[in-house]
Amino acid sequence: MRTTINAPIGVFDSGTGGLTVARGIAKHLPQEQIVYFGDTIHLPYGDKSEETILNYCYKISDWLLDKGCKIIVIACNTASAVSYEHLKKYLEGKALVISVIEPMVEAVVKSACKHIGLIATPRTITSNIYSNKLQLKNPVLKVSPKVTRSLASIIEEGMFAHQPVMRAIIAYYLNDPVLRNIDSLILGCTHYPIIREAIQAHLGEHITVFDSTDIVAHYVKKLLIAKNLLCNTPSNKPHEFYISDYTTGFARTAEMFFGDAITVQHCPLWES
Ligand code: DGL
């Protein structure tokens, strides 16, 4: 692997959602530098074809490699479902790569939960990736999936700030009978942690909510330690945030997702 301990951690998503993953990494691995790419020009990924999403993922990975990243975190469930196995081969010997799905599966399997609800984009749900991976580890687990088609776009638009609207949308999706009798819910989209509290309030405290923010950060830390790539002195380089399309209000939304003031730069990746 042609990389060093001090190289940055690359994180990408279709938009701001992956910033919830970046936020977890910044919290649990404060000595690391993060380079973030949000492909806002192509958001949402969730209803695009596999081929299209895969092409985006290759191009973004090349760009993160050019930035010298030692590990690439696919901070998007949709992109993880489609591209993880391909990127593992593509990036072999160049950088480590993780998806957000394996860490989540590991956390669910370790818990006592047996009937797991899953909310995610159409592409993630139709891939069956969560049910396949969970049932491979424990065939007793029951997974009840529910497509929440517009939720990522609604959150991206900043609607999460309007609590009555958000509560109504959450009720619309989560009152689906398919989610009756679940003991837990996977937030299968990295945009959803931003409305975790509202989701938990709707479900009640007796339902365990799995959100990728901390789970993925712990997984990254374990992997970097195992590969002797964990930075042990604080990086003096600031985190870098790039998006492919500068949308109105993005910086404000991005700060809420990341939980800290950030400078967002436009990266015209698709114009070259
Ligand atoms: N954040 C992405 C995910 O985790 C979903 C948003 C989209 O559809 O682009 O699946």
DSSP string, 29-43: -TTS-EEEEE-GGG-
Residue 8 DSSP symbol: P
- The one-letter amino acid at 99: S
40 lines ligand 1 (CB under 6 A): no
Separation of CA 122 and ligand 1 centre (Å): 10
| Chain CA centroid to CA 261, Å | 20
Please say if 69 is a catalytic residue.
no
Query: Which pLDDT score is estimated for 1?
Result: 63
Question: For 161-185, how does the pLDDT look when each residue is reduced to its tens digit (9 = 90+)?
Answer: 889 999 999 999 999 999 999 999 9
* Predicted TM-score (pTM) of this structure: 0.95
Is 123 within 8 Å of 50 (Cβ atoms)? yes
Catalytic one of 57, 113, 189, 231 = 189
Instruction: Determine the average pLDDT of the residues in 65-73.
Output: 98
| Chain CA centroid to CA 12, Å | 8
Nearest CA, atom 8, ligand 1: 46
Mean pLDDT of the chain: 94
The burial of 236, by beta-carbon neighbours within 10 Å (0-12 exposed, 13-18 middle, 19 or more buried), is given as exposed
257 lines ligand 1 (CB under 6 A): no
Nearest CA, atom 5, ligand 1: 189
**Range with the poorest average pLDDT among 93-102, 128-137, 233-242:** 233-242
Helix, strand, coil share (%) of the chain residues, nearest 5: 50, 15, 35
Residue with tokens 């290759």: 58
Ligand 1 atom nearest residue 14's Cα: 9
Please say if 267 is a catalytic residue.
no
